[in-house]
Structure 1
Amino acid sequence: MSSSSSMLQNCKRLLSISLCVIIIAVGVKVDASGAAADQFVYSGFAGANVTLDGAAVVTPSGLLELTNGTLRQKAHAIHPAPLRFRNGTPETARSFSASFVFGILCPDTDACGHGIVLFVAPGSYDLSAAFPSQYIGLVNGTTNGDAGDHLFGVELDTDQNNEFRDIDGNHVGVDVNSLESVSSATAGYYDDRGGGGAFRNLTLASGEAMRVWVDYDGEEKRIDVTMAPLRMAKPSKPLISTAYDLSSVLTDVARVGFSSATGSFNSRHYVLGWSFAMDGPAPAIDISKLPKLPRFGPKHRARLAEIVPPVATAGLILSVGAIVVLLVRRRLRYSEVQEDWEVEFGPHRFSYKDLFNATEGFKNKNLLGVGGFGRVYKGVLPGSKMEIAVKKVSHDSKQGMKEFIAEVVSIGRLQHRNLVQLLGYCRRKGELLLVYEYMSNGSLDKHLYGGSDKPILDWDQRFKIIKGIAAGLLYLHEEWEKVIIHRDIKASNVLLDNDVDGRLGDFGLARLYDHGANPHTTHVVGTIGYLAPELGRTSKATPLTDVFAFGIFVLEVTCGQRPIKQNSNGDQLLLMDWVADHWHKGSLTDTVDARLHGSYNVGEASLALKIGLLCSHPLSGARPSMRQVIKYLNGDMPLPELNPTLQSFESLALMQNEGFDSYIMSYPSSMATMTTMSNLSGKVTTT
């Protein structure tokens, strides 16, 4: 009896334990599923199931490496499970919090691009169409600013881009559907230590790990962004606190991830840890488990102690060594790259020391502009006091360096009053420095679109600029010892001298070949809006592709409008189609820049508009040569009879993104509108 009772008690005990195990198991399953749906944390990425594309990889040490230093890269890393950003109230977005640790490595913090974006995007958003460089792999010229993107992001931007009105080259920004931030601040934090709350600057590209917190309060409709050094607690005061309702931005279900990109400068972007949570603070990242950032560049040499002689002579040797180091550092500061074959180009070569002193060490106060191929600084040569412009370009040319320098020197021999004079060059480490005449009135596009700070060019000045650039192109195509195809004719590459005469500059994309020879097939480069339609099919730049770009340029100068403009409905429209449509309606001069207030020569303006349409004819065989254009402009030859009837050409679909390198499409506009263009039929008389 006693034995039976004992067995019964044991059975009850086992049953109780089994039920507890079942309950605990069920509870664990519910908690785990709830956590997977609402939050996650990565303290390092070794073995993590993260969706990667582009240049992104997880290194053996567990670093999430977004870019590896290769130029013009883009990369994405996305948490694989989508998150629900609305819960029962479709009109209201839920609160959420994110935290991540990042590191950006650059050899020069003043030449680093372009940054990292933590983003929230719908699952249907197409990241493959995004561009690198200033678009940070998140948008392109068409999608940027589109409310239908439903994008939210926090950018860590290491390059100042005027297109997006960046405040500086080291800032944090809150982005909503656009890389023009709704709120931004120079990178830094408010230090709680000592009770002062003083602001401390941080350099994003310092190569040190830093931490960022992003918090959205769904009730107060407020976005807070806070940052601090890695081992510091979260500051009480955020770097950015801005009121913004994300309810109309975020979709019900969305993905969270990182986007990063490089441009023309060598940089690497890393994420060490990441956490995210809905309706509460993001889970803590275990700092002790985070991988280490790599060093940028070669490892240090053996420690000084290993090469120092016995202690008795250490003092003397250290003194001598210090003097040697100072002399070497002084020499290396101005060191250059020069090979024997460059001696023949001697007169065209500047010393780096002279250029360094001329630009005051390439200080930002002397920065004239930043483009896709480098930075341009104003300088004054120490001896002659001549004003110069120095462009710093990275060594990423696919040509051999000898051939590249030979072309630079060849272009340096060009002599024409409507071309910017290339005075010479210098090579140092990973840089090529090109030295030009300084143009005091800047680029033409600043006068056409620069706002109230630039005087409006009158018609006489504009017509003189058009004729001057035409003369410069005729010289390049027919009158020099070789044929030069410029390949990037546009208003921003036309500079104005003291007399407001136009000079064509920036020959960084130019190609040379002998008269009578056929041009070689090459990469399609240039700027969106100025690319001739046949380039997408043949990949051959010819004088007639330059003529096409010149035609768009003429319309741009006459109308004061960009090559791709927006109509009253916000739709994109080709400038040439808009002008041709007005001509068809008999209102051609209505397209002349309204800021001239009717003060212009009607005959000259009409001639310019018709020449612009003729030169930008979609069929290359119908375009005139630059010699004919000069005769039209001077009244030495009548313009052929033109038909403004608009026609659609299926072949012009080649002008869409297929066939073009997206990273060189510097003009932020869509190619999708280019499937229909104006056909101005009529024979062109040859002479």
Structure 2
Amino acid sequence: MGGAGRSLLRRLPTAAAAALFLLLLLPPTAHSQSTPKENVTFSFSSFDDSFRSTNLTVNGDSSIAQGALQITPDTLNQASYLVNRSGRVLYSQPFKLWEYTPANVNGSSSSSSSNNGNSSSSSNSNSNSNKYVASFSTSFTINVFRQTNTTPGEGIAFLIAPSLDAPPPGSDGGYLGLTNATLDGNASNHFVAVELDTVKQPYDPDDNHVGLDVNGVVSVANASLDLQIAPVAPANYTLWIDYDGGVRRIRVYMAAEGRPQPPSPVLDAPLDLGQFVLQRSYFGFSASTGSDYELNCVLAWNMTVERLRDKKRLPRWALGLAVGLPCAALLLGLIAGLYYVRRRRVGDDPSMLAGALLRSLPGTPREFDYKELKKATNNFDEKMKLGQGGFGTVYEGVLVGAGDNGETIEVAVKKFARANTKGQEEFLAELTIINRLRHRHLVRLIGWCHQNGELLLVYDYMPEGSLDQHLFGGPEKPLLNWARRYNVLSGVASALHYLHNEYDQRVVHRDLKASNVMLDRDFNARLGDFGLARALDVDRTSYADLELDGVPGTLGYIAPECFHTGKATRESDVYGFGAVILEVVCGLRPRCEVGGFHYLVDWVWKLYREGRILEAVDVRLAGDFVGADAERLLLLGLACSHPIPGERPKTQDIMQILLRSMQPPAVPPFKPAFVWPSAVPDGDGETTTTTTASGLTGSSYYASSAGWTSNYVSRDGHVSEDDVPMV
């Protein structure tokens, strides 16, 4: 221990110094090979709709009715309602399915895998061979019903999913609610499914088979069945799926309900879950119908999953130290911090207390050294700049050895523009919010740095840049085709629904725009830039800025009521999403000169009134789009752009509309006048109309992210727009 350390210890209480000494001596813990396995079990003998809010997440065209999970609609009263549907029902809690282990700790699993001929496992890279993979067993009872003299379609699957997201748009038909034509086969899907397929596609052996699907619907293993999945005479079946994480193998059994598990599986195949699924994944079911339909019902479900333990069992005396020493270490840190603060005024090092606060947050991501990020971005070289906005500049960077397996990774480093108190507030707001968000359509935060007055956040690098670059970036970026545009909007809607309804707090993004929608390597949308986002308590409906801060956001995306209230709400986020929809479909910015109008929404509304709404579609697509979907999106964009916040659709409905399972809301032929006060949020986040019209329209006011006073005049005396890409 150096002289500085000894000097500090002399100033600390003796007990604290002793605690630190013991902490340094305590050996590191590891996964113990001799630790007995522990399992997590849940069981549903039948299903009730009350499970929807507690145990199960129901998405797409699924429902819970008649004591069963109806993975696709369960009515036979209207056959047209049953075609081209897809749904998912997932257990709401994730399970940890694999973890990295120290060398040779689980060597027996690796050798066992090789001895069983599992070529997938034995050929794994080092990143997979040193993973401990959990085992699980599940059984469930299904009823796949078809009407007399009809052909069944399409199928049902047991699913291991990366998130609780709804099925992607276009996942009906042969995609079984798992994927769609754009996403099928992508490694980024991170799903594994056991399908029971009742339609023969070109890649299928027949129209009655079981298959193992990995990231796509072209099965990596399949087998024809003797039992009819959808028999002419209705029948229930029980399926058993056993997965052995030690030998990396999955076995599927099937029998009529009430019969015991057969001795031989209908499907026996190698499968390394650690290679394909996310570490924490979700179990459940998906299903679809096509031009032919069937009722896909799950009647009961039992599940047992091995619980992975991160630490070995300690003796009682060591357990006492393990519990007591962190408390002592915390006390030591507080004492050292107080000593340091007394020696230096806080103003001398503004990053000191903020850094201490960040390190104390639960689950805070990795803290990077400033020199490391400086080197990664070539000293923040202008050539590495990805974008610049009101809160800072984003640089591309390369971090050597920073990946989970020590590999080199590409990152985006956001360097905040101001290191003063305001800059720290923005930095802390963004970090504390996005740090706890987990969704496949949100940009992932990797780490942070707060040193020498510099504030930096480190994100996943998005190789395809931002959405607006592909819409307006010129020849260096490929023009997005129609399928990708629809998929991007579906991804943004999914992320927005998560922020508004599925996170433990309501989050309003407050700056939803095309330049804040990033695209990964497969052109999937990732919503980013949480510099303006705020988390709300569940009993609040809006976030009010300080009066001097004015109205946050970007021109063309700000809801008209925000200029009067200074508050951001979920409804104002939906307004911004409506602007993005029209921008993506039309290929024009929300504020533009088009057809004699200054705003895109006004022009589209006129075309809709005249029955020419499809003329608004981006001419660069040269007619290569789906007319029904284009009209659906344009009507949804107008509905989201309604001047009255209470008339805008909720994200739950937006998701259903994009899944094509619900029609867009009725849109009036003339754009309604903006009414103020138009609506007041109630305790449930809904809105109620209160007074009469003022005769003002939403197009009458302008604002920018630079900030506005209550008289709608910019503080710097001019209008500035922030339309550059941000992470």
TM-score (norm 2): 0.44
User: Quick check: which has more Rg, 1 or 2?
Assistant: 1
TM-score (norm 1): 0.46
